[in-house]
Amino acid sequence: MLFFIILIATWEIIYRINLSLQFFPGTGFPSPFNSVNELYIGFFETGILTEALTTSIQRLIIGFIIAIIIGTALGLLLARSKLADETLGSLVIALQSIPSIVWLPIMLMLFGTGTLSIVMIVTLGGTWVMTSNMRLGIKSVQPILIRAARTLGYKGSELVWRVMIPAAVPSFLSGTRLAWAFAWRALMAAELIGSGGLGRTLMDARDFYNMDLVIAIMIIIATIGLIMEYVIFDRIERKVFSRWGLSS
């Protein structure tokens, strides 16, 4: 908290010095307090930020869930099938190297500028990293666990569901964390060009030279990232890693 207080205070001091000396254009270097005021106006007076945030979160959750389902299924397939790993696995690696926003022109031509295009971009943003982590998690299961399970009579799908998947849960959680981050970035990039949501609102604010609102939206994005990282994913990972005996 002390660090952020010092950071904001320094920011405000530079803003006030700039008002006098004009190192930067007045509209190009906003005040932190004016940005907080824009947050209040956007959430409690005009409602523009409330609507934009609701739209973005809905798109993100839908795309993220689809990415987790597809990524988990693909990861299992690649880990269990050598043929699939050598063929489809190569395609996954190739697709993972393509930024998800590159798909946006295709999605816009196919589905227009609405929600469906953006959800597809979000899904693509999270699917490949989820696939890679799930594949690695299954392949990294200790051979002694598999041998012990086979000795106890487990085989086929029973071996996968009762031994491999539980053993791969830490990798699954790491994959979901990365998939969320990639999906969030893909969402913001897609909304800059698409319609609605925080990204579109940010672009509208830029067009009207409202840098206070631009910074306010950046604060919202950063805050959501901190909440997801420290309040949700970090707590879940610590509990799971402790239960699986992986915590230091």
Domain assignment present for residue 212? The answer is: yes
Domain assignment present for residue 12? The answer is: no
Separation CA 218–CA 233 (nearest Å): 21
Q: Which of 100, 48, 53 is nearest to 198 (CA)?
A: 53
Domain assignment present for residue 41? The answer is: no
CATH code for position 84: 1.10.3720.10
Q: Which of 22, 8, 38 is nearest to 210 (CA)?
A: 38
pLDDT at 248 over 60: no
pTM of the model: 0.86
Domain assignment present for residue 124? The answer is: yes
Domain assignment present for residue 182? The answer is: yes
Domain assignment present for residue 17? The answer is: no
CB 159 within 8 A of CB 149: yes
Span 198-245, pLDDT tens digits: 988 999 988 888 888 999 999 999 899 889 888 888 888 888 877 776
Helix, strand, or coil (residue 66):
helix
Separation CA 168–CA 174 (nearest Å): 10
CB 37 within 8 A of CB 44: no
* Between 154 and 40, the higher pLDDT residue: 40
Domain assignment present for residue 168? The answer is: yes
- Stretch 70-97: mean pLDDT, rounded? 90
What's the pLDDT band for 71 if we cut at 50, 70, 90? very high
Q: CA 64, 225, 118, 126 torsion: positive or negative? A: negative
Q: How far is CA 162 from CA 95, 149, 169, 213, in A?
A: 31, 9, 12, 50
Of 39-48, 116-125, 182-191, 239-248, which range is least confident? 239-248
What's the pLDDT band for 128 if we cut at 50, 70, 90? very high
Span 138-170, pLDDT tens digits: 888 888 888 888 888 877 777 888 888 888 888
Query: Burial, 208: exposed, middle or buried (Cβ in 10 Å; 0-12, 13-18, 19+)?
Result: exposed
Return the structure tokens found at 18.
């700039």
Domain that holds residue 74: 51-243
pLDDT at 127 over 70: yes
pLDDT at 168: 84
Total domains in the fold of the chain: 1
Domain assignment present for residue 100? The answer is: yes
